[in-house]
């Protein structure tokens, strides 16, 4: 009677979500180029072979963190722009939620992971550029759909252009991200957000 073959290797001992979150924080602070493999290994408690085996090379790991950030951001945008609340209220919540991420109490003024780090690497890394472009387009699409709904149900003017309004709303979001990473005071950022909501609603002909 032959022996039952033993399974080779040890079961996966790491939590991929936790590892991605820790790697994301390293990239968020130091950017793609400035984040060493040693720093990523230390943060994730995984040696280089394990990192490569789990996520691929450094760029692949970075792209995974961007993808995860994009997906989480899309959920936050949808929740903020819930049709159950007014457009004005939803935009206010959207910007307040963004600022709570950009000015994290634990990590400090770090801005947006995509705007703050991917924009720097987009020129030299086509895959990063594609991720950045696709992510920003996805964010604008969510905004556009909310403006389109607002127009359809008479919440904003019948002549309002959802595409233009979405771009304007996204531009305010981008400005907050850059200013937050530069160290702008929260009070100033909140004032910009409030002005942005007022400007967008006025341009949309909102009540």
Ordered by where they begin, the domains of the chain are 69-204 (1.10.357.10)
6-53 residue pLDDT tens: 444 444 556 888 899 999 999 999 999 999 999 999 999 888 888 888
Three-state secondary structure readout of 63-121: HHHHHHHHHHHHHHHHHHCCCCCCHHHHHHHHHHHHHHHHEECCCEECCCHHHHHHHHH
The predicted structure's pLDDT at residue 14 = 63
The predicted structure's pLDDT at residue 13 = 55
Tell me the pTM.
0.88
The token pair that represents 101 in the structure block: 């991420």
């Amino acid at each position: 009677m032959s022996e039952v073959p033993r399974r080779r290797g040890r079961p996966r001992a790491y939590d991929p979500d936790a590892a991605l979150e820790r790697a994301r924080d390293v990239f968020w602070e130091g950017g793609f180029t400035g984040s060493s493999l040693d720093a990523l290994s230390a943060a994730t408690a995984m040696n280089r072979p394990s990192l490569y085996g789990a996520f691929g090379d450094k760029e692949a790991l970075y792209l995974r963190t961007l993808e995860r950030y994009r997906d989480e951001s899309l959920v936050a945008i949808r929740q903020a722009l819930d049709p159950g609340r007014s457009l004005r209220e939803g935009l206010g919540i959207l910007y307040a939620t963004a600022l709570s991420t950009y000015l994290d109490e634990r990590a400090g003024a770090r801005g947006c992971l995509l705007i703050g780090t991917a924009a720097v690497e987009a020129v030299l890394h086509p895959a990063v550029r594609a991720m950045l472009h696709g992510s920003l387009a996805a964010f604008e699409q969510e905004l556009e759909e909310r403006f389109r709904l607002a127009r359809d149900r008479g919440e904003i003017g019948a002549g309002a252009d959802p595409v233009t309004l979405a771009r304007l709303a996204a531009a305010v979001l981008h400005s907050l991200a850059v200013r937050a990473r530069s160290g702008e005071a929260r009070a100033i950022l909140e004032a910009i957000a409030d002005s942005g909501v007022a400007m967008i609603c006025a341009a949309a002909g909102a009540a």
